[in-house]
Structure 1
Amino acid sequence: MTSHDPASRPPGRPRPWRRALPPWAGRNFRLLVGASFVTNLGGSGAVIAAAYAVIDQGGGATDVGLVAAARTLVLVVFLLIGGAVADRVPRQRVMVVANCANAASQGLFALLVLTGRPALWQMALLTATGGAAQAFFAPASEGMVLSAVESGHAAKAFSVFRLSMNGATIGGTALGGALVAGVGPGWVLAVDATGFAVAAGLRSRLDVAATRRPKAPAGILHELRAGWREVVSRSWLWGIVGQFAVVNGAVGACEAVYGPLVAREHMGGAGPWGLALAASGIGTVAGGLLMMRWRPRRILLAGTLGVFPLALPPAALALAPSLWTLVPVMFAAGAAIEVFAVGWMLALHQEIAEEMMSRVSAYDWFGSVAMTPVAMAAAGPAAHAFGRTRTLWGSAVLVLLLTGAVLALPAVRRLERRTVARPVPAATVAATAPASAGQDVAGAAPLS
């Protein structure tokens, strides 16, 4: 009889599943990817579930928008503080606490939906709690992911990380839509809560000794001012953040408010809308695969061109299409925005010092989502005042005009990819690859 006892494996020989992974994908990187996959799988379905939890209680566009806006409003309020905290204390600790808070809020949301008729204020309060947790998590995670690999593998690592997240989004939206239609939104919210708890456990196992510890700070206000100076000194940075303040608001209102309502009236409800969002997720995977091979020299020029197709989904929803007309539109928008996402993160990690990353990421998040709660809360009143069709067409036009304005900035058109080497702690190097695998097998230029 052949023994399969792990002890029988020759010393130093990696497990079979590890041999299939890239040599630079060390333990920290695998844990981060796994945790993000779990939370995105549950979170993608929870977005649909939250909208239909409100609709099932008799809510309309304004109610759906208010609940969605509650999360983003609190996210905006706490983002800058979250960025400063993430540069002051171990980022792992911030991420774990945020995941636990999200697990608790989503678990209580699920319990209310499953056991009774939750009030609108209760649903808004619980989504707001999740937004507060995200405000601390997001800046910490952006400063953590690429510190888990050597700088020479950063571009490839970020593409793999995005592919994992987008793959989870595909499954989460399709499965979430089907589960909402089949068993109701409460169970989907319960699955999301479980996913956050699992992710907290995975992130608690990160080897923080293998990551760079932040320097002792002078104070939160001092750090926020330093982060602000980093942002305003770069026209490409403040220009794109300002662009996405409006673009994200328009797109968010379409996906969180108008999309579910159009799907209910013209496509059959939550199931088809989940498939449409899954098509967008499939598009992001296609875009990620493209960016693993395509290395544009002018990274922000290529990325900004990828924002134009975000005008397609609101334009398509304005026409009240069939599902099979909407699916290719969502796919194209997903693929195009992934080109932007990769180019944007390459630019940030190339141009921003590592010790400033969480604070700059906080300003990035703050600017990018500042208008989203306003747009979501105003979605219902705007549809009543101007008509839903005209409002959707207006969203599409805003995306086109603002993206064209950003292309007028010389720094956006001219910023080029370059190699910037940064030291990585010895523990990270030892955990990621043997000495013979020091070359970047994909030939990708580093982010940082």
Structure 2
Amino acid sequence: MPPSLRHRPGLAAVVRARPAWAGRNYLLLTGATVITSLGSSGALIATAFAVLAAGGTATEVGLVAAARTVPLLLFLLIGGAVADRLPRHRVMVAANTLNCVSQGLFALLVLTGEPRLWQMALLAALGGTGQAFFAPASEGMVLAGVSGEHSGRAFAVYRMGMNGANIGGAALGGALVAAVGPGWVLAIDSAAFALAAALRAFLDVSGVPRRAAGGGMLHDLREGWREVVSRSWLWAVILQFSLVNAMVAAAEAVYGPVIAARYLGGPGPWGLALAAFGAGTAGGALLMTRLRPRRLLLTGALCVFPLALPSAALAVPLPTAGLAVIMFGTGVAIEVFAVTWMVALHQEIPEDKFSRVSSYDWLGSLAVVPAATALAGPVQDLIGTRAALWGCSALIVLLTAAVLCVPGVRRLTRRTEPEPTAGSADSPAAGAPEPQASGTP
């Protein structure tokens, strides 16, 4: 034990309790993510109520939400290329700073006057732009300092903290919007981004080799694309989730509230079902701190089948209690997939191309969602709500069965690595490797 801790038993106990794989960088990244998840979950609620308080309609609430999504889709690939070209922690800090400024201005508008729709849409677009650069950089770094042997457990703990913060942030944000108004909740979100940027600025990237200088942006994007299409398991799962996520979004955003209003008693039971899903994701992350499946993608793919159950349960429809149980189980299953998927990516994708591959994964996951939610209403009018829900469920099952036909999905196995020695490049004491200058779930 270091001499500085010998006379501080409380601090020494905390240090001993920390797992050996949880290095300084991992703790900083996880803490920053928990902070921003708490703020952002409440800010989503605050944004909607800020639009309504300014006299906006439900359509205008949707327009502001779309204003955030469009630049996210447009800039994801560029964000991935930038994160593979520049030090990732600097990209993350810059993105957090942009989100801090945009949310701070949004809060100022709400607190001091009557914000106009175009102003709120512009600030939401800035927030989406920041997320487009942040997401690929973050996924390229969160497990960079964790050995392959512990990567599943580390990512599960990371997801558990993030999911718990999302649940708590939504509950706290809703209460604060009711108590003090949406402007102050947006201000809290701005402060959360500022604190997260400060934490990420302290990431240790010393002693890491520089990336070799590459070509231009188009060259970098082509390299990332080649990484995706050269692996059948990778592009198959990305294609699968481009449609699976669209079906889930249509069911949750459009059909679920309709069924809840008609048969379950309104928004209260539907909110309970969504809360059960959130609790399930926390439970799934906890489960994955213990499990280390050998066949990563086979395990993950089998856990996608339960995503068809909520749509089927709504189509019946099941009572609220039954729906909540299914939503909880679905949350557990999708979290198992999320952890196995991320472990597979970090195991198989070269580090210097990881953020670009991640950006293609994010783009595939989100690209069809706006169209699916926009078309959900017309499809419902054409064939009926229950038929549309059964269609969502059937498509998820068919897509997942098709992915299981890909040999790479069935055969990709976890590789084991020797335990890193203290002071080595992969040791927690050395900090997470982050190459210097020479982007799914």
Alignment TM class, shorter chain as reference = 0.7 to 0.9
2:230 alignment partner, one of 229, 233, 236 = 233
Change (3 A) 1:148 1:121: same
Report deviation, 1:237. Answer: 0.5
Aligned pair 1:142/2:154, yes or no? no
Report deviation, 1:51. Answer: 4.1
2:288 alignment partner, one of 291, 308, 312 = 291
Aligned pair 1:34/2:31, yes or no? yes
Change (3 A) 1:11 1:44: closer
Aligned partner of 1:97 in structure 2 is 94
Change (3 A) 1:8 1:403: closer
Change (3 A) 1:105 1:291: same
Aligned partner of 1:48 in structure 2 is 45
Report deviation, 1:32. Answer: 0.4
Report deviation, 1:190. Answer: 2.9
Q: Could you tell me which amino acid in structure 2 is paired with residue 196 of structure 1? A: F
Q: Could you tell me which amino acid in structure 2 is paired with residue 429 of structure 1? A: S
Query: Conserved in 1, the CA contact under 8 Å of 2:304 and 2:334?
Result: yes
Query: Conserved in 2, the CA contact under 8 Å of 1:173 and 1:275?
Result: no
133-142 or 241-250: bigger deviation: 241-250
Q: Could you tell me which amino acid in structure 2 is paired with residue 375 of structure 1? A: A
Aligned partner of 1:431 in structure 2 is 429
CA distance in 2, matches of 1:237, 1:248: 16
Query: Conserved in 1, the CA contact under 8 Å of 2:309 and 2:393?
Result: yes
The alignment partner of 1:208 has SS state of coil
CA distance in 1, matches of 2:190, 2:129: 16
| Cα RMSD, aligned residues only | 3.3
Aligned pair 1:365/2:332, yes or no? no
Report deviation, 1:248. Answer: 1.7
Deviation string 1:314-371 (CA, Å, 9 cap, x unpaired) is: 4445567775454323212211101110111111111111111111111111111111
1:409 alignment partner, one of 401, 406, 412 = 406
The alignment partner of 1:419 has SS state of coil
CA distance in 2, matches of 1:127, 1:377: 19
CA distance in 2, matches of 1:417, 1:8: 38
Change (3 A) 1:96 1:8: closer
186-195 or 319-328: bigger deviation: 319-328
Change (3 A) 1:173 1:378: same
Deviation string 1:290-314 (CA, Å, 9 cap, x unpaired) is: 2222222221111112112223334
- Give the total of aligned pairs: 426
Aligned partner of 1:208 in structure 2 is 205
1:129 alignment partner, one of 117, 126, 132 = 126
Aligned partner of 2:105 in structure 1 is 108
Aligned pair 1:75/2:43, yes or no? no
Aligned partner of 1:277 in structure 2 is 274
Report deviation, 1:128. Answer: 2.1
Change (3 A) 1:179 1:389: farther
Deviation string 1:249-269 (CA, Å, 9 cap, x unpaired) is: 232344455556777886565
Aligned partner of 1:442 in structure 2 is none
CA distance in 2, matches of 1:356, 1:194: 32
Report deviation, 1:117. Answer: 5.0
Report deviation, 1:132. Answer: 1.0
Q: Could you tell me which amino acid in structure 2 is paired with residue 139 of structure 1? A: P
TM-score by length of 1: 0.83
The alignment partner of 1:148 has SS state of coil
104-113 or 332-341: bigger deviation: 104-113
Q: Could you tell me which amino acid in structure 2 is paired with residue 281 of structure 1? A: G
194-203 or 110-119: bigger deviation: 110-119
The alignment partner of 2:289 has SS state of helix
Query: Conserved in 2, the CA contact under 8 Å of 1:69 and 1:374?
Result: no
Aligned partner of 1:194 in structure 2 is 191
Q: Could you tell me which amino acid in structure 2 is paired with residue 414 of structure 1? A: R
Report deviation, 1:274. Answer: 5.4
1:397 alignment partner, one of 382, 394, 397 = 394
Percent identity (aligned): 61
Change (3 A) 1:354 1:420: farther
CA distance in 1, matches of 2:272, 2:115: 27
- Superposition map of 1:334-349 within 5 A: 334-349=331-346
Report deviation, 1:196. Answer: 1.3
Unmatched segments (≥5 aa) in structure 2:
432-441
Deviation string 1:16-68 (CA, Å, 9 cap, x unpaired) is: 322221122121111001001111122223333434445564533x5444433
Query: Conserved in 2, the CA contact under 8 Å of 1:173 and 1:277?
Result: no
Report deviation, 1:382. Answer: 4.7
- Superposition map of 1:261-272 within 5 A: 269=267
Change (3 A) 1:169 1:333: same
